[in-house]
Structure 1
Amino acid sequence: MTARELQGLAAIVTGGATGIGLATAETLAARGARVAVLDQAPGRAPGHVHALAADMADDASVRWAVGRAVEDLGGLDILVNNAGTGAVGTVEENPDGEWRRVLEINLLGVVRASRAALPFLRRSPYASIVNISSVTATAGLPRQALYAASEGAVLALTLAMAADHLAEGVRVNCVTPGTVDTPWVERLIASAPDPAAERAALQARQPSGRLVTAQQVADAVAYLAGPSAAAVTGTALPVDGGLHALRPAPPLPPEPLP
């Protein structure tokens, strides 16, 4: 991508005040886009983006925020569905209420924002939706049943939306990050009995041996959102250090001393 490839385009990023969403909003802005973020705590967003309060579990709130953002930006070309929440546990460990809470945000939040944005996106010659899913949608990881179900649904929804809106000129793709070094992950690590061991275990789970950075995910989103990806739709782009597909050989034992 060129440094200003998104010049003149308008973008909305949900959950854009922290973590992956914040990195994405700043990256899109740096590449020339006018950006609005929708977040429950918009005050955390940087001052150079439009920040609007939105509750992704409330359809009226989402519709209002999207409409106001389009008015502020003067149109809409890109929607990044990033807002989400986490959950830990096996299928037995989370009650129905927790399942409903996570699906309301992670899945139905994507539905609500996309539904509100599509009438405006259809007017754009560069229309693109990028959903943030997760490596848990494609790789079975322990104690991720609820979270994986929600993110697997986002992946399936991405493919269905790409088929539905291709003829309308709206591309739909998703990114499936691995474990990303975000404030949410930091809180999980800090709550572990041995935070240092927990971080080491998460790093070791990545074939690359490193956590993914929010900027690396943001760069992938910017590519999928922009004109360079004009021929890309219905694609899930892993940004996970190889976690979804690679099974590296264990290190060889040291050579015995002569």
Structure 2
Amino acid sequence: MQLEAKIALVTGGGRGIGRGIVDRFLEEGAQVAVVQRRPLDDALKGHPRVAQIQADLSDSSSTATAVERTVERFGGVDVLVNNAGIMFERTIPEIRPEDWDLMMAVNLRAPLLLVQAALPHMRRRGGGSVINIGSIEGLGANPGHAAYCASKAGIHGMTRAMAVDLGADGIRCNAIAPGWISSDLSETYLESHADPAAARAALNRLHPLGRVGRPTDVGDLAVYLASDRSGFLTGEIVVLDGGRTAKLPLPS
């Protein structure tokens, strides 16, 4: 198993992309602290290698507490996955300062504070791996997503800077930039169309691989980045989108 004896902290790990990462980490032998606002479902709550830490990451004081509770339960931190995030749609004139501040607090500030809190524990264990979840919207944009795009572009830039600053400590920092990953929300969106089957087929055609991503696709990549097998990989933004951003659009 690739992550045996590794201790991981995953924010927003109870559902969606985070759940795909947590499930794969557990399969590979890791102990996992899941940090999020919502309670975990019974499957995770009852797992002997899972710790549930409820926290509101928009509150800056919660980040250090989350790391300390992870260390109290498992004895350290080897892997930090900054996955938790929020997204809302606002046009440029509609964005209010409080909207912007909340987006940046959760999507950009919390990852920084979590890395700061985890740093002494990773140093004590001889190094570690930070995996930030960015987005293809850190590279491109959809309408009404200015704040979200800014937060994800910030994550990409911060990841590279962290890799430069923390490499001497043996701490690698990489980001995954997922494209369309199937989730409850995405299914609700597709089902809202007049012809859900046609909408799903059109979405699949955007991807050279002919399908959208699954949470475990992100989990598979996260396992590699968390493991010692990626020991010379740092400072990278890995786009995981089934080829969607590589495909040039054709006139319809």
What do the CA deviations read for 1:117-136 (whole angstroms, capped 9, x no partner)?
11111122350000000011
CA contact (8 A) 1:11 1:76 kept: yes
Q: Does residue 111 in structure 1 map to residue 112 in structure 2?
A: yes
CA contact (8 A) 1:135 1:243 kept: no
Once the two structures are TM-superposed, the CA of residue 231 in structure 1 deviates from its matched residue by: 0.3
Aligned to 1:194: 194
Aligned to 2:32: 35
CA contact (8 A) 2:126 2:169 kept: no
Aligned to 1:136: 137
Once the two structures are TM-superposed, the CA of residue 249 in structure 1 deviates from its matched residue by: 6.1
Please show how residues 137-216 of structure 1 align to structure 2 within 5 Å. Answer: 137-190=138-191, 192=192, 194=194, 196=196, 198-216=199-217
Distance in 1 separating the partners of 2:70 and 2:107: 21
What is the identity, as a one-letter code, of the residue corresponding to 1:211?
Answer: V
Aligned to 2:15: 18
CA contact (8 A) 2:78 2:125 kept: yes
Deviates more, 1:240-249 or 1:75-84: 240-249
State the secondary structure of the residue aligned to 2:23: helix
Distance in 1 separating the partners of 2:201 and 2:99: 28
Structure exhibiting the larger radius of gyration computed from Cα positions:
1
Aligned to 2:55: 54
Distance in 2 separating the partners of 1:84 and 1:131: 11
CA contact (8 A) 2:179 2:213 kept: yes
CA contact (8 A) 2:131 2:225 kept: yes
Q: Does residue 88 in structure 1 map to residue 85 in structure 2?
A: no
Residue ranges of structure 2 left out of the alignment (5+ in a row): none
What is the identity, as a one-letter code, of the residue corresponding to 1:25?
Answer: V
Distance in 2 separating the partners of 1:54 and 1:198: 36
State the secondary structure of the residue aligned to 1:80: strand
CA 114–174 in structure 1, closer or farther in 2 if over 3 Å, else same:
same
* Identical positions, percent: 36
Aligned to 1:120: 121
CA contact (8 A) 1:179 1:211 kept: yes
Deviates more, 1:95-104 or 1:18-27: 95-104
TM-score (norm 2): 0.90
CA 195–147 in structure 1, closer or farther in 2 if over 3 Å, else same:
farther
TM-score (norm 1): 0.88
